[in-house]
Structure 1
Amino acid sequence: MQSVLISGAGIAGAALAHLLCRRGFAPTVVERAPGLRAGGQAIDVRGVALDVLDRIGVLGQAREVRTRVRGMSVLDADGTEIDRSTEYALSSGRLDGDDIEVLREDLVRLLYERTREDVAYVFGDSVGALTEDADGVVVEFAHAPARRFDLVVGADGLHSAVRRLAFGPEEHFTRHLGSYLSVFGAANFLGLEDWQVWMRDGDAGFGIMPVRDNRELRVAFGFESAPLERGTDLKALVVERLAGLRWEGDRLAKAALEAPDFYCDAMAQIHLDRWSRGRAVLIGDAGHCPSPLSGQGTSLALVGAYVLADALAAAAGDHAAAFAAYESRMRPFVTVNQALATENPGGPASEESVARAKNAIALDG
């Protein structure tokens, strides 16, 4: 039984852990956070990724906790409605389709609960060093004693530690897309009921949606910017930018300042010539982040986990052959989905492009 260390207990990591268990592997998941990460934006699961959730056994539950929305309003900078739709939402696409939108924390929880009895999870620790030899990889951790694994998987996001250790500095693989995105929760001070509002003011804008039976809001605030210096206080910057908005700026700034789940990062993509090196391999955002602008990060994570698990099972212990098969199958799918983020700068990709990209791979191909 091959042992596999998975760095990251997010969607890609938890999905892969479950799929590997079913195929006879022994996965361990290490997560830097002290527990499952709360907060985060509503995420889309589209096309073939729905089949992955179905095969994992959580699609029904995911549909039960999906976000509910009747439509959206588009506002000008003063808060005056200039457009509305009851057929389409900017966060999720058409409202009458089979695709679903769920809160990230809800999907992570479903995947974790599906795996927790069979998978060893180690929270509050992280990978510090990798030393590979002919028999495996010795992994040094920030806190726990070093351990040997047959394989190591980086499912640890845009700022992947496994990628840095196995491939080199992050800046070698990052393509900045010219903006930053902040996401945070707040009380529903706008009184929204299953209705989104979207607004743009100059080079900044936001989408606000009610969640948790309209008790809470999720605010996604974006602003154009060149890459900021490492160490920039992003929270202070976001609060300042929000306070400068003409409509609801003060209340949004206060909510961001007080939010315990505040998040902000660059809109960027990851591009590597290869996603594996030796016994280490990358999945999800760690290997090929498309950025939230694509709307397909979650789908790429789920499909990538499935394809990698299948490739490892079929290779009968030959990890080099498995990684090559994984890359061969996934790269065309990644390429077409990453392109969604840059097709229409400042706006969403066309429905036709999304429809083509979300089904551009067959699970059993």
Structure 2
Amino acid sequence: MTSLNVLISGAGVAGTTLAELLTRSGHRVTLVERAPTLRHTGYAVDFRGAAFDVLSELGILESVRRHDTKMTGTAILDRDGTQVDHLPAEAFAGELEVPKHVLNELLYALTVDHVEYRFGTSITSLTQTETEVTAELTDGTAATYDLVFGADGVYSKVRQLAFAPHSVALQHLGLSGAGFTMPNFLALDHSGLLRAVNGTAVYLFNSADPDRLTVSLSFGTPSGALDRLARADQEAATRTAFAGDTWHTPRLLEAMSEASDFYFSSNAQVHLDSWATGRIALLGDAGYCAAPAAGMGTSQALLGARSLARHLATADHAEAFARYEAELRPYVTENQTNGRSAAALFGGAQED
């Protein structure tokens, strides 16, 4: 098999997993990441079904298991904070859940010796012919590659350059929200609380750190425009959505402004007719995000990377890309259907 020179955009789960599997097949991989360093923030990630096979193949399954958050479940509360139902741990934590930074660090350690990482760098243009792709980068350099992969998330630059603008590829699910951590004033112990009222949802949980409470404040929005605004505007929108709410909400809103790990995002799905064009292909959230509320992003990233690597080991890129999409699209379609339902649970608009 001919060794390929490959460029991957995005050092998340999809990109690093693909990088590892491709180097095992003898390919040379350069991975560019917009962030200046490895990301150490984000919610916990969970694993379901066949994703365990990929972790095992990577050789990190037992290491991942050692960081299990051991969630016990989530209490469903009414407006007054009275429990009315209970969801098992699997509803939000899958079969295994770990802090996101743990998985990022394990994958980075697995790949750093044989993958060229270029942090603080992203792609500015892509030009392809039948035989190669030329990528220009933000650091002013340019190089040609046999294949380019976009694993750079919902707002993928690769997708924007080579496939479609965000306005075409993204389907907003009517839900946005702020996330952060604060002192665990409710003394939750590896458990969560979910309170949905009038198109808003408060989700609180404690997992890895007994002293910290992770807070998610979700509310209905007509678009994902808030994602592109400054933090002050995002906080203001969140306060407006929860104005007049009682329970612990005023305390949560106060903690939001003090949080050093504030995060804001909208639930959106990515829909494309094809995940490949010529020598460029997408994987993970960049190609087929099912929505964060679905809890399937990590599993889709792992399975997509493995599928691509396996098919590239036995076929040329055109055939490999076709097989990859045929294999994964039914799985993605099911997850996206579930993602719309999950977003509705948190106050978003469910669509057929």
State the TM-score, normalized to the length of structure 1.
Answer: 0.87
Rounded to whole Å, the distance in 2 between the matches of 1:345 and 1:219 is: 17
Rounded to whole Å, the distance in 2 between the matches of 1:15 and 1:218 is: 27
1:146 is aligned to: 142
1:331 is aligned to: 329
**Contact 1:140 / 1:146 at 8 angstroms: preserved in 2?**
yes
Structure 1 residues 250, 345: closer, same or farther in 2, change over 3 A? closer
Q: In the alignment, is residue 321 of structure 1 matched against residue 319 of structure 2? A: yes
The amino acid that maps onto 1:80 is T
Rounded to whole Å, the distance in 2 between the matches of 1:110 and 1:102 is: 11
Q: In the alignment, is residue 92 of structure 1 matched against residue 88 of structure 2? A: no
Q: In the alignment, is residue 197 of structure 1 matched against residue 193 of structure 2? A: yes
Structure 1 unmatched runs, 5+? 94-98, 349-365
The amino acid that maps onto 2:236 is A
Q: In the alignment, is residue 218 of structure 1 matched against residue 214 of structure 2? A: yes
**Structure 1 position 71, deviation (Å):** 3.2
**Structure 1 position 236, deviation (Å):** 2.9
**Structure 1 position 59, deviation (Å):** 0.9
Rounded to whole Å, the distance in 1 between the matches of 2:11 and 2:18 is: 10
The amino acid that maps onto 1:129 is S
**Contact 1:243 / 1:249 at 8 angstroms: preserved in 2?**
no
**Contact 1:284 / 1:304 at 8 angstroms: preserved in 2?**
yes
Rounded to whole Å, the distance in 1 between the matches of 2:73 and 2:328 is: 34
1:347 is aligned to: 345
State the TM-score, normalized to the length of structure 2.
Answer: 0.91
What are the Cα deviations for residues 287-310 of structure 1, in whole angstroms up to 9, with x where unaligned? Answer: 011001222111111000000011
Q: In the alignment, is residue 281 of structure 1 matched against residue 277 of structure 2? A: no
**Contact 1:39 / 1:184 at 8 angstroms: preserved in 2?**
no
2:51 is aligned to: 49
The amino acid that maps onto 1:248 is H
Structure 1 residues 90, 256: closer, same or farther in 2, change over 3 A? farther
Q: How many residues align?
A: 340
Structure 2 residue aligned with 1:69, among 65, 68, 71?
71
Rounded to whole Å, the distance in 1 between the matches of 2:242 and 2:65 is: 33
2:349 is aligned to: none
Structure 1 residues 21, 205: closer, same or farther in 2, change over 3 A? same
Q: Secondary structure at the match of 2:171?
A: strand
**Structure 1 position 92, deviation (Å):** 2.2
Structure 1 residues 228, 132: closer, same or farther in 2, change over 3 A? closer
**Contact 1:294 / 1:339 at 8 angstroms: preserved in 2?**
no
The percentage of counterpart residues that share the same residue type is 42
Structure 1 residues 46, 306: closer, same or farther in 2, change over 3 A? same
Q: Secondary structure at the match of 2:206?
A: strand
**Contact 1:137 / 1:279 at 8 angstroms: preserved in 2?**
yes
**Contact 2:7 / 2:145 at 8 angstroms: preserved in 1?**
yes
Q: In the alignment, is residue 120 of structure 1 matched against residue 122 of structure 2? A: no
What are the Cα deviations for residues 77-129 of structure 1, in whole angstroms up to 9, with x where unaligned? Answer: 232333346x4464225xxxxx1112222211111111111111111111100
2:81 is aligned to: 79
**Structure 1 position 155, deviation (Å):** 0.1
Across the aligned residues of Structure 1 and Structure 2, the Cα RMSD in angstroms comes to 1.9
